[in-house]
Structure 1
Amino acid sequence: MNKSDKKILNVPHLRFSEFTDEWVKYRLGNIMTFKNGLNKGKEFFGAGTPIVNYMDINKNENIVSSMIKGVVTVTDNEMKNFQIMKGDVFFTRTSETSDEIGLSASLLEDVPKGVFSGFILRGRPIDGIFENSFSGYYFRSGAVRKEIIKHSSITTRALTSGGSLSQLNISLPTLREQCKIAKLLRLIDNNIDSQRKLINKYESLIKWIYGK
């Protein structure tokens, strides 16, 4: 990246007390490369290698191999061109509405022989710029989502591309602060999941009591 690409931005109002470094501005295309995914006919799905699909990204900020249910048969050349690796950030490429365009999820672990679908984009950061789980949360934050939507095209469908995402101006904290933020957000997510399971349990009990 060029030094001229860095510009100091105002820091967020709410931060952990031990961090005082200012967040730094980057042009996303200078710290991340983008690639469109694999397009195959229906007959190639149902067996083969894991494939990250649209719904894997739509519903999750971060994904691991056990969450990837789709499989596809690919050639050696397709495997090479569309392979995925830990740290990749995926974005939904097209949607009926702007609300679901450019939704993101980061890959938290390597998926041997994994590939990704043509309905999503793969963003591959340069080494050391993102903490893996932080990037999934970060690109879903309100400010970044507004930028993604602003740079998308909307006709009959909402559409984004690697070229559009490359134009985004983003600001990032240090890796240490990214790790602290991601840890807090994971804790919140885990608490929400626990509460949701408890609510579902009590709702099932109520239905059983009243015979519904």
Structure 2
Amino acid sequence: MEFQNKVQFGDIFFTVSSETPDEIGMSSVLLDKVSEMYLNSFCFAYRVFSFDILNPLFASYLFRCSLFRDKLIRIAQGSTRYNISKVEFMKLKISLPSIREQVIIASFLSTLDEKIKIEKKMLEQYANQRNYLLYRMFI
């Protein structure tokens, strides 16, 4: 049986292997409380032990930003399959704003994401309405 580690709120996951360097090290942050969920060997996790240092919602944006992604792409190795060494990954340096600024930034970006989601849904509804009207026009 494969060894698996139990995950918890705030854990940050990274893929360790990909077919292209651009997809290497894609991240996800567990923003929900879960009871039974485990990490397997296809990715690795970073556990934040103090949310006074790194806000989980801010982390979800930070590790997907182009500045950080470019750092990951530079350490990816391979020709047909790209991999990231956990040792090299742990050497990466990142600058963090204060926890107060992280909360403000994360809240702002989250609000923008919600607005985008609403706008996309409205656009889809307008497209459906348009298609319906065009259909009715030619009956």
TM range (shorter): 0.7 to 0.9
Tell me how far 1:145 sits from its aligned partner.
Answer: 0.8
Structure 1 distance, partners of 2:130, 2:53, is 49
1:140 matched to 2:76: no
SS at match of 1:169: coil
TM-score, length-scaled by structure 2: 0.88
Partner of 2:46: 123
Instruction: Compute the TM-score of the two structures, normalised by the length of structure 1.
Output: 0.59
Letter in 1 for 2:43: I
Gaps of 5+ in 1: 1-37, 40-77
Q: 1:114 aligns with which of 34, 37, 42?
A: 37
- Structure 1 residues 83-102: aligned runs within 5 Å: 83-102=6-25
What's the Cα RMSD here?
1.9
How far off is 1:117 after superposition? 3.5
Aligned residue in 2 for 1:153: 77
Please list every run of at least 4 consecutive aligned residues from structure 1 whose deviation after the TM superposition is greater than 6 angstroms: none
Secondary structure, in 3 states, of the residue corresponding to 1:87? coil
Contact 1:104 1:136 in 2 (8 A): yes
Superposed, 1:39-78 pairs within 5 Å as 78=3
CA–CA distance in structure 1, aligned partners of residues 76 and 53 of structure 2: 24
Give me the identity figure in percent. 32
Task: Count residues in correspondence.
Answer: 135
Q: How many angstroms does 1:174 deviate by?
A: 1.1
Q: Is the 8 A contact 1:98 1:149 kept in 2?
A: yes
- Unaligned runs of 5+ residues in structure 2 are none
Q: Give the strand-richer structure, 1 or 2.
A: 1
More helix by share: 2
Conserved in 2, the CA contact under 8 Å of 1:131 and 1:175? yes
Spell out, residue by residue over 1:55-109, the C-alpha distance to the aligned partner (whole angstroms, 9 max, x if none).
Answer: xxxxxxxxxxxxxxxxxxxxxxx5xx41000110011221221111111111112
Task: Determine if contact 1:92/1:121 at 8 Å carries over to the other structure.
Answer: yes
